[in-house]
Amino acid sequence: MGFDPSRVDWALRATSHRGLQPAMDHLLEHEGEPISDASAPAGNSLPSGSAAQSTSAMDVDGDDDDAEALRHLIGKKGAVSAAATAGDVEAKSIKCSVCGKTFKNTALANYHAEKSGHDQFEESTEEIKPLTEEEKKAKLEELRKKLAAKRAAKDQEEAKANEVIRRKQGKDLNKIKEEIKAKEMIKEAEQKRKEKAEDAKAKAAIKAQIEADKKARAEKAAREKALREGKPIVDSQSGTSNSTPSPAAAASSSSGVAGKDFKDTRLQIRLASGGTPYTTTLPSDSTLHDVAEFVAAQTLSVSVETVSFTQQFPRKTFSRTDFNKTLRELGLTPSAVLIAS
């Protein structure tokens, strides 16, 4: 630093080799004064260069704090070699006893201990030479390559993980689509079966209605013929015969009032939804409400309060006010075919 070597020796002796800062203070305070050996305190001068070398070894890292940290690290994490502890050898670096790496100062040794978990360190006389410019560039390039390789490996792992997630999502989506398609096919097939069953019921109901209409027309034609010829009327359902009506009765019959002479009325009730028709014989004085009660007693799908009746031949729909009228008043005697809905 530009000081005379003799003054530096004088400052070191005067400060008992306590370090760089006390020596600098002494040099600045006694600048220009003559060098005096008597100024050194008695018993503080060193008999040999070994102690000075040991003290200077503590300044390898820059100050007394690093030296103290080094001693603490060595005392906590590993055994110090006997030669270095005795102070007869100058310590120029710190060596890891586990992996053999050497470090220039305690900061690097501490960093290595935290990263590797090694806890065995000792002072070493091996001097770590500073890197040349070429070595620095090579080291920097090596670190860059390692960092790039590490990043590439991480990116590759992330890409693999993302691909796995994408494939799984694709499989789940395809599975959901297949399930939805299968449900739609089942629903469509069920709808077709339902439509087919409804068509079959409708066809059966139409066919039964046609047969009932044919039978009703045949019965009516037979009754009218019997009345015209004065023959007894034979009911094809019951096989009973009635006495021959008088000419007046025949005339009234042709005018639509012959039904008043029949005490009983035979009814055939068919459901609009299809199924087996219900047949019954009721007194002609029974009301249409009694017919509704009869049908409601046969099936749970019919309610007395909501059921309605329709006659196909002649075409007629009975209202709720007709439910209090008798079968004779409604012209349903001696027989009729009704459709309940």
pLDDT tens sequence across 269-306: 989 888 888 999 999 899 988 998 998 888 888 888 88
DSSP state letter for 336: E
**14 or 64, higher pLDDT:** 14
pLDDT above 90: percentage of residues in the chain: 14
| Band of pLDDT at residue 236, cut at 50, 70 and 90 | low
Average pLDDT over residues 77-91: 47
Interhelix angle 247-254/133-229, rounded to 10 degrees, is: 150
Which CA distances in Å does 184 have to 63, 171, 180, 187?
83, 20, 6, 5
What are the two backbone dihedrals, phi and then psi, of residue 64, each rounded to the nearest 5 degrees? -70, -25
Residue the block writes with tokens 């002072």: 123
List residues bridging with 95 in a β-sheet: 102, 122
Q: What is the pLDDT of residue 246?
A: 42
Q: What is the pLDDT of residue 151?
A: 92
Domains of the chain: 1-31 (no CATH), 93-129 (no CATH), 264-340 (3.10.20.90)
CB 7 within 8 A of CB 35: yes
Q: What is the pLDDT of residue 180?
A: 93
E strand or H helix at 8:
helix 5-14
Average pLDDT over residues 147-174: 91
CB 37 within 8 A of CB 64: no
Output the CA torsion sign for 161, 164, 167, 173. negative
| Band of pLDDT at residue 255, cut at 50, 70 and 90 | very low
Parallel, antiparallel or unpaired: strands 335-340 and 264-271 = parallel
pLDDT above 70: percentage of residues in the chain: 74
E strand or H helix at 310:
strand 309-311
Residues 6+ apart with CB under 8 A from 265: 281, 282, 283, 284, 286, 327, 328, 332, 333, 334, 335, 336
Q: What is the pLDDT of residue 247?
A: 40
| Band of pLDDT at residue 243, cut at 50, 70 and 90 | very low
* HSE-up (13 A, CA, CB side) for residue 107: 6
* HSE-up (13 A, CA, CB side) for residue 222: 15
Give the separation between CA 265 and CA 330, rounded to whole angstroms.
11
| Band of pLDDT at residue 95, cut at 50, 70 and 90 | confident
**58 or 263, higher pLDDT:** 263
CB 288 within 8 A of CB 309: yes
**63 or 47, higher pLDDT:** 63
